[in-house]
Every structure is written in structure tokens, then in C-alpha cells.
Structure 1
Amino acid sequence: MKKYVYLLLSLTTFLNLYSQDSPRVEKNQFKINLILPGVVYEHGFNDKNTLYSELSFGIGYSKSGFWGSTWSFYPTINEQFRHYYNLEKRAVKRKRTLGNSGNFYGLNAIYNFESINSNSDFSSSSPSFTVAPVWGFQRTYKHNFNLNLNGGVGYNIDKYNNEIVPVINFTIGWVIGK
């Protein structure tokens, strides 16, 4: 009887250790963001690549010597092609890979719509488009709590000028439906 109990415990341990033998990204993942309210859908194409699609609100700040400082609020669409490169290392170290918990690099495309400000103390902004290579990480913890941070240097195009800009995306939220 002891042999069967030992065999069962060994088999359970073995299965737990290798249950993430070949970790892969989630096929479909929905999230709600809290900092800048929005929704995210991340679609997994294969074991390591996803398309991250986010619709949220952005905040812009500009300072001018003559007019002072101004704020703008605008809807944003953020598309990222992500390649998760460290899922196997995380699985070997018995770290979580569920919910696309891993490090990634990718190509980011952001479209900022025209500002929705209605207060005359705030300036309006023109639509803009930014493309940037990014590096980042995403973690999904217990109770589907999600943290995402990525950044890079991009090229911004709007009707007034084109320029090199920093690109930073930080979200806190929850994965829905898991």
C-alpha cells in the first residue's frame, strides 16, 4: 500500500512540475484597465506571439513659455504585435506563465484621436499616430490581477510635425473570464 501512495505522490509531483512543459500564450484574453480606463483583447497566434489590442483614454500634457501648461484627454487605440521570449525559463523556475505572464518585445502602433476636452482651461490636441519598437513585461497574479509595463522610443506623426518621442504604457487591471 505504501508503494502505491508513494507512486501516486511521485506521479502527482511529476505532473505538477511538467504541467507547463511547453508553455504557450493564451489563445484569447480580455482585460479591463483601471489607471486610464479601457479594455484590452489579446489574441494568441501561436506558442509565443500575440496581437494586443487596447482601447482606452490618454492624457497629454504640454508646456509653453507663452501660454503656460495645458492638458488634453483623448481616446486611444493601441495595437502591439508581441513576442514572449522567456516563457520556458519561467516554467522551469516554476514561475507563473498563465495569463501571458512573461517578458516580451514587439512593435507598437498607437493612434490618438482628437482631444475630447470641453473645458476652455484645457487645450485640444490634434490626432496623431506613433510607431515604436517596445520591450516590456506582463504579469497576471492571483484573482486575475494584471500588471503590464512596456516602453520604447517611437516616431510620432501629426498634422503639425513629426518627431521622435518616448513611448510608455503602464496598465493595472483584471483579466476577465478566467
Structure 2
Amino acid sequence: MKRFLIGITLLSSLVAQAQFGRNCEVRQFKLNAFNPGMEYEMATGVNSTLDIRIAWQMAVEPASSAPVEDYDFFPALTIQNRYYHNFNGRQRRGRDIYGNSGNYLAPTVSVFSPGQRTVEGRVVEDLHGVGGLVYGVQRSYDSGLSFSVDVGAGYYVGPFKGDILPVANLSIGWIISEKRWCVGR
């Protein structure tokens, strides 16, 4: 299982050979405050990016008998291949697309490394992960403030019975480094 998740992560990185787009930022580096960590987003096409996030992330506890009601913070690596579907519409309406401000659809893969923990009286250890599809919104402002939220569903795997459960991510932070390419400025 670990090899499969690591393989998916490496494959996503290799496929990310950027054919720099005219709408997406070429690259941007962000610090997140809500889920403390770092995020790197790079253009992979005209309206698509590869987003890599390393953070302490809130997630469901998939080893619990009621996973949707049992949340915890776990160290996580999340990779999303975002396709921004509304850049052109935002530009036509005079809205900004700076910092990849738009709505997106993304396959997502997360690997959580919580270490050993006790869940409902039994010891659970090892990595667990989720792969799924999310729909999200990202907005960035001239001050550098950036936020994104995405929700969807994914299949959780690990040292427990796999199951399809909700996936949600919230990132609030600041863009600290960027290489602009946006024409929607």
C-alpha cells in the first residue's frame, strides 16, 4: 500500500512537465495558517496546475466506527491536479484571476502519517491515505492573502477496512513567492 501511494505521488510529479499556460500563475509558494504548513502550485497547462501541500491537516479518523463524526489533525502530504474551468468567464466579467483565483475540479491524493494512536480502545499505526475527486474555489488578493476550499469524496485506505468518505480541505495563508504569467491582471 505504501509503495502504491508513493508511486502515485512520484507519477504525479513526473507528469507535471509544465507547458506554461496563459491563464495560470507559472508558480507560487504559500504558507498556510489554518492547516499549518507549506503549499506549492505550478502551472501544468493553460488552465491547470499541480498543487502540492505539506501540512498538519484536519481529517476524518477512518479507523473509527463513526469516521465522519471523529476528526483529528494529522501530518499530511496532499497532491491535487487542479483544472480551473472558469478563468475565461471571470475575465469576461472583469474579475481578477491573479493567484489562480477561480473554481476548479481536481483529482486529489493525500497520505497521512499520524504514527501510533489509540482509536476506540485499539492501537492503530502506520500510514493511511485517500484518493478522490474534489470541487474547489480559490481566491488570492493583492495583499498576498490566499484561501482555497474544496470538498468531494474519496476512498480511504490503510490499516483498517477501506471506505468511501467525505474529503474537505481549507487553506488560508499568504503567497510569499510567485512567478506571474496571468493575463487576467
TM above 0.5: yes
Larger Rg: 1
SS in 1 for 2:88: helix
Question: Does residue 75 in structure 1 map to residue 75 in structure 2?
Answer: yes
Tell me how far apart the structure 2 counterparts of residues 23 and 64 of structure 1 sit (CA, whole Å). Answer: 47
1:159 is displaced (CA, Å) by 1.4
Q: Deviations over 1:37-57 (max 9, x none)?
A: 010000101210110000001
**Residue type matched to 1:141 in 2?**
Y
Q: 1:112-171 deviations in whole A, cap 9, x for unaligned?
A: 013377xxxxx8654211011111110001301101000101100011210111000011
The letter of the residue matching 2:28 is Q
The separation in 2 between residues aligned to 1:61 and 1:151, in whole angstroms, is 13
SS in 1 for 2:143: helix
Q: Distance in 2 between matches of 1:30 and 1:105?
A: 20
> What is the alpha-carbon distance in structure 1 between the residues aligned to residue 159 and residue 124 of structure 2?
13
| Number of equivalences | 151
Q: What is the match of residue 174 of structure 1?
A: 174
Please tell me whether the aligned partners of residues 35 and 170 of structure 2 are also in contact (alpha carbons under 8 angstroms). no
Query: In the alignment, is the contact (CA less than 8 A) between 2:125 and 2:159 conserved in 1?
Result: no
**Corresponding residue number in structure 1 for 2:146:** 146
Could you say which structure has the greater relative contact order, defined with CA pairs below 8 angstroms and 6 or more residues apart?
2
d(CA) in 2 for partners of 1:139 and 1:28?
15
Q: Percent identity?
A: 27
Provide closer, same or farther for how the CA distance between residues 64 and 167 of structure 1 changes in structure 2, counting only shifts above 3 A: closer
Contact 2:116/2:126, CA 8 A, preserved across alignment: no
Change (3 A) 1:70 1:147: closer
SS in structure 2 of the partner of residue 90 of structure 1: helix
Counterpart residue identity of residue 98, structure 2: L
Over aligned residues, Cα RMSD in angstroms?
2.7
Match in the other structure for 1:161: 161
Equivalent position SS for 1:97: coil
Structure 1 residues not aligned, in runs of 5+: 1-21, 118-122
